[in-house]
Amino acid sequence: MFVRDITILVPAHNEAQRIEATLREILDYVPDHFERSEVLVVDDGSADGTAELVEKRFAGRVRVVRRDKRGGKGAAIRTGVMAAQREWILFVDADMSIPISEIEKLSPPSIQAPIVIGSKRAPGSEIEYPALRHFLGGIGQRLISIFVVSGFDDTQCGFKLYRADVAKELFAIQRIDGFGFDFEVLMIARRLGFPVSEVPVRCAHKIGGNVRTKTYLGVLREVAAVWWNRLRGRYPKR
């Protein structure tokens, strides 16, 4: 492993039913693979006791940052990035649809790139998704490539590795609070000249997630918002 010092960031909204298993998987893996680490859960205005559960069952092992009101995944990730205390930050979803061990694929490219993104669509990836979700995701990715940022097979995978100083710089600039934060940040990274490496990963569909059909419609609105922000000169250039 080339990454030794890491924050594992888990955004969570109403994840009380499954976050415990996710955190146990992370905590079982971390000690043997990193010299220094922290596990950080950002509770995005949950109403089901997610934060209380994590604080009770993982006291002293998992840090919880609470957002009083739900802001969206982008807002939760931004909060976590600014609170992170280690050299690298790994984003993982609360359903752990991508095993934590896939970090071993993202770590080697980090020697050359401060941003390494997992991909469910790059050649060599393994994905188990319902056909409709896979189809809608493909359409969304095509629109992202046309209107926001090109050159990626999958901007929306929830498994991403950022060097912390770069992440803090980018997330201080980005504006999207929903799922579209992913492509917005990658677009800004490209504009500022930060190298990005894309790595195929193994991904399985998990029932009960926060992604719905209307989520894809929301992403389309966010594509338009990023396009409009860029047109009006709201993003910096290198």
pLDDT digits (tens, 9 = 90+) for 10-35: 999 999 999 999 999 999 999 999 99
E-strand ranges in 92-153 read 115-119, 126-128
Residue 111 resides in a domain = yes
How far is Cα 25 from Cα 39, in angstroms, rounded to an integer? 11
Residue 236 resides in a domain = no
Residue 237 resides in a domain = no
- Count up the domains in the chain and report the number: 1
The parent domain of residue 121 ranges over 5-231
pLDDT tens, position by position, 203-214:
986 655 555 556
Provide the CATH number for the domain around residue 105: 3.90.550.10
Pairing of strands 160-163, 115-119: antiparallel
Residue 158 resides in a domain = yes
Q: Spell out the residues 6+ positions from residue 59 whose beta carbon is closer than 8 angstroms to its own.
A: none
The residue ranges of the chain whose pLDDT is under 50 are none
Residue 238 resides in a domain = no
Q: What is the reported pLDDT for 123? A: 86
Residue 164 resides in a domain = yes
Residue 194 resides in a domain = yes
pLDDT tens, position by position, 156-170:
999 999 999 999 999
Residue 172 resides in a domain = yes
How far is Cα 83 from Cα 57, in angstroms, rounded to an integer? 21
For the whole model, what pTM was predicted? 0.91
